Amino acid sequence: MRLQESQTDLYLPALEALRSLIRASTTSMTSVPKPLKFMRGHYDTMKIFYKNVTDEKTKQACADIISVLAMTMGTGKDCLVYRFLCDPNDKLDSWGHEYIRHLSGEIALNWLETSSATKLRVIELVKQIVSYNMIHNAEADACDLLMEIEQLGMLEDYVDENAYPRVFLYLQSCIPFIPDDEIKKLLKTGINLSLKFKQFINGMRLALILNETDLIKMIFNSCSDDM
């Protein structure tokens, strides 16, 4: 393994080659790809290498790979922790849907224990995840993540006219399963999206569930006569 040799100038090229190989096999993962199986025995070695190496770019490239390996080898929140140690300019979408889904799961699982300062950094990751999900027809995944971290209002910034019908139907299907203290946020988000795209009937349906007279009147008055 190149990372265990003494020639430090070989570290970054070796990591870049490994990263390219893994990326080529994980963009549409249906099973654990060969590069990840091969790296199983080297996972702890990679973490030790990260601690010992001093070059910043090499550390960031190593953290990127460890974060991906953590999908199948890590424990706790390794995937998320090492994501924060990567180059902040690196985009998540290069690792594919399964990586995005795993990272989302760790974010949701650890949200309540996350400090206020760290939550600001997590939100930046969430923005990338939601944007990716919307582009790749994974609207339900985006909604689930935002509901788990109580940030459903962010959805309004990422839903376009094409995604709206699927998002609205999914939010509507979630109503029976949402706790009473959270259902108002869901309904308000659905109403705001409906008004944004002039889907007044859908908005009125949710407003009636919410049973707020002023809101019902506002939606009714916003609708033109020919609707």
Q: Which residues of the chain have pLDDT under 70?
A: 1-9, 25-38, 74, 225-227
**191 close to 215: Cβ distance less than 8 angstroms:** yes
Residue 6 has what pLDDT?
Answer: 58
Q: How far apart are CA 122 and CA 116, in angstroms?
A: 10
Residue 174 has what pLDDT?
Answer: 93
What Å distances lie between residue 115 and 12, 78, 110, 141, CA to CA? 33, 17, 10, 24
Residue 30 has what pLDDT?
Answer: 47
Residue 106 has what pLDDT?
Answer: 94
Q: How far apart are CA 3 and CA 10, in angstroms?
A: 8
Residue 180 has what pLDDT?
Answer: 82
Query: What are the extents of the domains in the chain?
Result: 1-74, 91-154, 159-227
Three-class DSSP labels, 80-119: HHHHHCCCCCCCHHHHCHHHHHHHHHHHHHHHHHCCHHHH
What Å distances lie between residue 74 and 13, 34, 82, 158, 180, CA to CA? 24, 17, 11, 31, 35
Q: How far apart are CA 25 and CA 70, in angstroms?
A: 15
Q: What is the torsion angle, in degrees rounded to the nearest 10, for the CA atoms of residue 177, residue 178, residue 184 and residue 188? A: -70
Q: Could you count the other beta carbons within 10 Å of the beta carbon of residue 129? A: 22
Residue 94 has what pLDDT?
Answer: 81
Residue 29 has what pLDDT?
Answer: 46
Average pLDDT of every residue of the chain: 86
pTM, two decimals, is 0.85
